[in-house]
Structure 1
Amino acid sequence: MQPGNPGQDPYGQQPNQDPTAPQPPHDPYAPPPAAPYGQQPTSGQPYGQPTSGQPYGQQPAAPYGQQPQDPYGQQQPYGGAPTYPNAGYPQQQGQNNTLGLVSMILGIASIPLICCLYLGIPVGIAGVVTGYLAKQKVAQGQASNAGQAKTGLICGAVGVGLGILLFILSIVANVNLPTEP
């Protein structure tokens, strides 16, 4: 029982009434009971959805010459920053970054390919050439991958340098020095 209301139980039972006793039949024409626990009436809608008079959430038509209200709130709020489509995402319009990527792959691959019959030298040269061409495209604004172009240029040069050094060392190691009789 609640202290402020001694005559009624919060669950709708009268005091000193047996809860297992049969209840009187419900009158279908009686007005609905008051909403318990401060709940708001829902107008017969499921999940407490209020009714707006329009079926399926449709907005009423605006008079001729007036803009209808945006049902999804996509209008800019007062004092808010302007919104742009794809804001925050880089736009790749007319940029071709393939040459820088190829340069980086060739430059990195040239270093381990040195051991395979000096295959690293021509692959490294290709990496240096494509890296140089890719840096030119970045400078012209046609590409945006300067890091890949620089990586291909440097790794290609290292691969060519190591390939030439290994070639020279192999020639020096195979030279027979004259011996005295």
Structure 2
Amino acid sequence: MIYPIVAYGDPVLRKECRDIEKGELDVKQLAEDMFETMYAASGVGLAAPQIGKDIRIFVVDGQPINENLDEDEEPNPSLVGFKKVFINAEILEEDGDDWAYEEGCLSIPDVRAEVYRPEKVKIKYFDTDWNEHIEEYEDIAARIIQHEYDHIDGILFTDLISPLKKQLLKKKLTNISKGVVNADYKMRFAKK
């Protein structure tokens, strides 16, 4: 099932999400639906608040980044086989130098900005079989995780950009919250 993507301005994107209780819902089906929704919108990550659910689950698949490279570009090794579901995730540690990368978000179409994040992350989470994992990621994989993890804490990438850039984007963000945006996927707007 493909969900509409919740647009910037909806209060669910600002909620700190709650943990999922084992057996509370079919996490395998939800994860499958989230992947389907993410692929339909050409994303590499999707968090539950982006489909209107205030629960701690997000999905990632960085392989499309490697598949859409120019001929002269090398695939990013951190993204090979990087397709995962994170349930009740907890970042244990962020390490390394902060580095800039232009990020975007399915909930904020046509807006991109440089965001600085640490280069490594150590995270604890459950998979869809409720097995606990503690893993470390770096480079783009770490960034995708950090971006989606922020979503389940009610943080958007636009919160992490410079005040000047935020001011320059103000009108665009206001328009998105009002439903004035062109996205090639179905969206849900709070104030439309």
Question: How high is the TM-score relative to the length of structure 1?
Answer: 0.20
Question: How high is the TM-score relative to the length of structure 2?
Answer: 0.19
Structure with the larger helix share: 1
Structure with the larger strand share: 2
